[in-house]
């Protein structure tokens, strides 16, 4: 017999056993649930990683959101059950609506989700989309008219790229209560990550585009870019300004071609360039008072999948006005040189003919006169040839000076005396003024310095009217003061200009200047003085009274610079000019 | 109408709008997870515990967390209807 007193103990033991069993069962169930949850989480995470990898693999660095959506929609069935996975994309003139059916549904089902997706977009945009055409594409299972199951479970995922709504992705099913919040949240996360990737990529592309646009806009040359259909896709402000296209926005190729009317058919040239894959260089385009060389070229992709393919065309406006002007100046220079040589040569020939054909040689007085004329003509030619030789040496960098210790003050006084007769003939007062502190001897090439003074004095006397004054000045320059200020301190006549401000930085030198009370120079002509061609043209304009090659100042500059000095001009139109040079001590 | 009721009505409108945008399954599921909000399966706000302004902020945040700032921007007209309730920045 079982002792009765043990019954409570047995009961306790049984109870304890049952409690242990129940606890174990509860514990096992809890562990199982946790494992299931973990498994589900891992499955979701794996799906998330897999789909993001697939997007990356299949679309690469793509900005094509439709391609990305196709990948997401195509992979959805691995993760979630659906009757239809669809997306709507907003385009400028239409809405793309694509549906992938995993099971047959009724046309009403499609109409239903289409309506819901449009409402979602309208709610986000705050406007209706009724006027937008919807381009619908269905893939997967077929639609069956006799089915009558509406969409009972569905959710929409807005597609946002760079803070702009671009569309909506929708998952729908005929069964109700199918989608759990956590499953839906994973899809939101995936779409969000894909959108962020596209946004980041777009930012990079936009930054690069902005850089290119900034470069294009800052270009002095006009640039027009077209696509393969000859639509202008970019035009910089320079191009618009050159052709005189005032409206804002991008002109059409026809607008641009109109501006080339009378020159050539721009569109035809662009077509030719793209068709023949050839750079065309077109001269003879003039807009306003400027000349342009127009370069028309195809634009080809040089990397990636499209390598070698023609993307469009580019038109470049290259300003060749200066080249044209230089060409004209060179031509003027040559003809003027020929003319300058021709006159004395003509004289020599005539005298020669005269002497050959008559008895002029028997007449001593006439012979002397003709000999003098021969001397004048040949001297004139020799001067010209010498000038040309000097300029040629200067340009070749072979011009040299022979610096010796010389008395500059005496040299200047002697030159003034030499020109005294010419000055008196022209009724011009010629003076020399030497400031204090000028050394008795200066290291210089006396012959070349005389040449400088001959040029400056003959010019000054040529351009100073009757009753005027020409003053030769010489003073000491010390660093820290502008030359003009020093001249005025010495009480010397002086015409200053902006360029002389920097003369305070010049080293200790002797300054020699020739100031006249002539007609003066316009600022735009001052900068041309030292140019071989421009100076010549300027001199040529002076007419018969002021003949000359105009090479004198070019040579003066060369001689002074060979001494290590500098030249300059100050002038006031209608009052006079100061031409100066320095010789460093 | 007292302030609390206004908040409840406004939050119900927000859930309704998000139901159009995101679909009712997601909009209601997210709203029901907001602490301090009691939401019916149909999306009606039946009770608010604690500060209703805080509950409103949490409700909007849950949708923003899901789909970004654009869903918040769509709520502008609802805030206009309730001028006594300050729009959240």
Q: What is the pLDDT of residues A79-115, one digit of tens each?
A: 788 999 999 999 888 999 999 999 999 999 999 999 9
Looking at the domain assignment, is residue B26 inside a domain? yes
The tens digit of pLDDT for each residue in A266-305 reads 999 999 998 888 999 998 789 988 899 999 999 888 777 7
Q: DSSP of A328-357, one letter per residue? A: HHHHHHHHHHHHHHHHHHHHHHHHHHHHHH
Instruction: With CB atoms and an 8 Å threshold, state whether A124 touches B21.
Output: yes
What is the second-level CATH architecture of the domain A404-584? Answer: 2-Layer Sandwich (3.30)
Whether B17 and chain A come into contact, CB under 8 Å, resolves to yes
CB atoms within 10 A of CB A140: 17
Per the CB < 8 Å rule, is B21 touching A156? yes
**Which CATH fold topology does A325-396 show?**
Helix Hairpins (1.10.287)
Residue among B63, B67, B69, B71 with most chain A CBs within 10 A, to mutate? B67
Please tell me the pTM assigned to this model.
Answer: 0.50
What confidence score (pLDDT) does residue A536 get? Answer: 44
Contact A155 B23 (CB under 8 A): yes
> Looking at the partner chain, which of B20, B25, B33 has a beta carbon nearest the beta carbon of A123?
B20
CA–CA dist B70, A408 (Å, integer): 86
Local structure of residue B87 (DSSP, 8 states): P
DSSP per position, A131-144: TS-EEEEEEESPB-
Q: Is A535 in contact with A391 (CB distance < 8 Å)?
A: no
End-to-end Cα separation, chain B, in angstroms? 25
Residue A540 has pLDDT above 60, yes or no: no
Cα separation of A105 and A151, whole Å?
9
d(CA B56, CA B64): 12
Positions of CATH 3.30.565.10 in chain A: 404-584
Confidence of residue B22 (pLDDT cuts 50, 70, 90): very high
As a whole-number percent, the residues of chain A with pLDDT over 70 amount to 94
The confidence score (pLDDT) of residue B74 equals: 87
Domain A57-206: which CATH number of 3.40.1190.20, 3.40.50.300, 2.40.50.140, 3.30.450.40: 3.30.450.40
Q: Look over chain A and give the mean of its residue pLDDT values, rounded to a whole number.
A: 85
B70:A120 CB<8 A: no
CB contact under 8 A, A184 and B29: yes
Specify the number of domains making up chain B.
Answer: 1
| β-strand pairing of A509-516 with A469-477 | antiparallel
In a domain, B28, yes or no: yes
Cα A193 to Cα A187, A188, A206, A482, B10, distances in angstroms? 10, 9, 19, 69, 31
By residue count, chain B amounts to: 89
pLDDT tens-digit map of A394-427: 877 788 888 999 999 999 999 999 999 889 988 9
Q: What is the pLDDT of residues A466-510, one digit of tens each?
A: 999 999 999 999 888 888 888 888 888 888 876 666 788 888 999
| Segments of chain A assigned to CATH 3.30.450.20 | 219-319
> Which part of chain A has CATH 3.30.450.40?
57-206
Task: Report yes or no on B87 lying in a domain.
Answer: no
Four-way CATH pick for A219-319: 3.30.450.20, 3.40.190.10, 3.40.50.720, 3.40.50.261? 3.30.450.20
Whether the Cβ atoms of residue A370 and residue A411 lie closer than 8 Å to each other: no
Interface test with A, best of B25, B28, B39 (most A CBs within 10 A): B25
Task: Please report the pLDDT score of residue A227 as a whole number.
Answer: 87
Q: Considering chain A, tell me which residue range(s) the CATH 1.10.287.130 domain(s) occupy.
A: 325-396
Closest CA to A132 of A105, A93, A76, A177: A93
Q: What single-letter DSSP state applies at residue A466?
A: T
Q: Residue A158 and residue B67: Cβ atoms within 8 Å? A: yes
Q: How far is A123 from chain B (nearest CA, A)?
A: 6
Chain A residues 186-205 with CB within 8 Å of chain B: 188, 192
Task: Find chain A residues with C-beta within 8 A of B77's C-beta.
Answer: 126
Chain B nearest-CA distance from A186, in A, is 10
Q: Looking at residue A383, what is its pLDDT?
A: 81
Domain range holding B7?
3-37+47-81
Tell me what ipTM this predicted complex has: 0.92
Do the beta carbons of residue A122 and residue A114 sit within 8 Å? Answer: no
Pick among A81, A123, A166 to test the B interface (most B CBs inside 10 A): A123
CB contacts < 8 A, A to B, total 61
């Amino acid at each position: 017999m079982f002792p009765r007193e043990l019954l409570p103990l047995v009961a306790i033991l049984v109870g304890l056993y049952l409690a242990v069993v129940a606890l174990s069962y509860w514990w096992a169930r809890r562990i199982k649930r946790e494992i299931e949850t973990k498994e589900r989480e891992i499955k979701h995470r794996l799906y998330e990683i897999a789909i993001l990898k697939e997007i990356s693999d299949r679309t690469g660095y793509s900005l094509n959101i439709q391609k990305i959506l196709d990948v997401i929609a195509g992979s959805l069935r691995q993760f979630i059950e659906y009757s239809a996975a669809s997306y709507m994309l907003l385009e400028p003139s239409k809405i793309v609506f694509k549906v992938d059916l995993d099971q047959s549904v009724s046309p009403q089902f499609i109409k239903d989700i289409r309506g819901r997706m449009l409402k979602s977009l309208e709610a986000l945009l705050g406007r209706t989309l009724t006027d937008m055409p919807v381009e619908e594409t269905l893939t997967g299972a077929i639609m069956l008219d006799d089915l009558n199951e509406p969409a009972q479970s569905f959710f929409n995922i807005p597609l946002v790229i760079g803070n702009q709504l671009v569309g909506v992705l929708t998952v729908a099913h005929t069964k109700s209560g199918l989608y759990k919040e956590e499953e839906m949240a994973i899809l939101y996360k995936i779409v969000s990550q894909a959108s962020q990737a596209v946004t980041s990529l777009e930012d990079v592309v936009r930054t690069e585009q902005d850089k290119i646009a900034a470069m294009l806009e800052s270009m002095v040359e006009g640039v027009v870019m077209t696509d393969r259909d000859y639509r202008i896709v970019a035009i910089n402000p320079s191009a618009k300004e050159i052709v005189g296209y005032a409206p804002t926005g991008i002109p059409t190729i026809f607008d641009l071609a109109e501006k080339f009317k009378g020159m050539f058919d721009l569109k035809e040239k662009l077509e030719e360039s793209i068709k023949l894959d050839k750079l065309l260089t077109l001269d003879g385009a003039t807009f306003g008072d400027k000349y342009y060389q127009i370069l028309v070229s195809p634009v080809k992709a040089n990397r990636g999948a499209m390598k070698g393919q023609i993307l469009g065309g580019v038109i470049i406006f290259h300003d060749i006005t200066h080249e044209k002007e230089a060409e004209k100046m060179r031509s003027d220079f040559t003809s003027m040189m020929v003319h300058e040589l021709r006159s004395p040569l003509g004289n020599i020939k005539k005298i020669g003919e005269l002497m050959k054909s008559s008895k002029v040689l028997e007449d001593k007085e006439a012979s002397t006169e003709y000999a003098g004329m021969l001397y004048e003509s040949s001297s004139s030619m020799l001067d010209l040839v010498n000038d040309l030789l000097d300029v040629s040496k200067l340009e070749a960098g072979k011009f040299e000076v022979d610096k010796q210790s010389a008395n500059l003050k005496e040299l200047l006084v002697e030159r003034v005396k030499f020109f005294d007769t010419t000055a008196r003939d022209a009724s011009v007062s010629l003076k020399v003024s030497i400031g204090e502190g000028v050394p008795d001897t200066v290291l210089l090439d006396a012959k070349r310095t005389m040449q400088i003074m001959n040029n400056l004095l003959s010019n000054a006397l040529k351009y100073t009217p009757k009753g005027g004054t020409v003053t030769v000045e010489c003073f000491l320059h010390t660093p820290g003061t502008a030359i003009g200020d020093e001249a005025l301190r010495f009480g010397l006549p002086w015409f200053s200009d902006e360029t002389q401000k920097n003369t305070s930085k010049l080293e200790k030198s002797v300054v020699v200047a020739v100031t006249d009370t002539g007609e003066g120079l316009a600022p735009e002509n001052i900068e041309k003085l030292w140019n071989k061609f421009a100076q010549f043209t300027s001199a040529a304009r002076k007419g018969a009274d002021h003949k000359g090659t105009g090479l004198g100042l070019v040579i003066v500059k060369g001689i002074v610079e060979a001494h290590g000095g500098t030249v300059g001009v100050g002038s006031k139109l209608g009052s006079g000019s100061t031409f100066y040079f320095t010789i460093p001590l | 109408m007292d302030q609390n009721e206004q908040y409840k009505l406004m939050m119900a409108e927000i859930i309704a709008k998000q139901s159009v945008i995101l679909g009712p399954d997601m909009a209601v599921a997210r709203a029901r997870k907001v602490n301090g909000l009691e939401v019916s399966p149909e999306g009606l706000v039946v009770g608010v515990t604690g500060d209703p302004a805080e509950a409103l902020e949490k409700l909007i945040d849950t949708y923003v967390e899901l789909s970004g700032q654009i869903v918040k921007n769509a709520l502008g007209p609802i805030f206009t209807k309730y001028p006594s309730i300050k729009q959240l920045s």
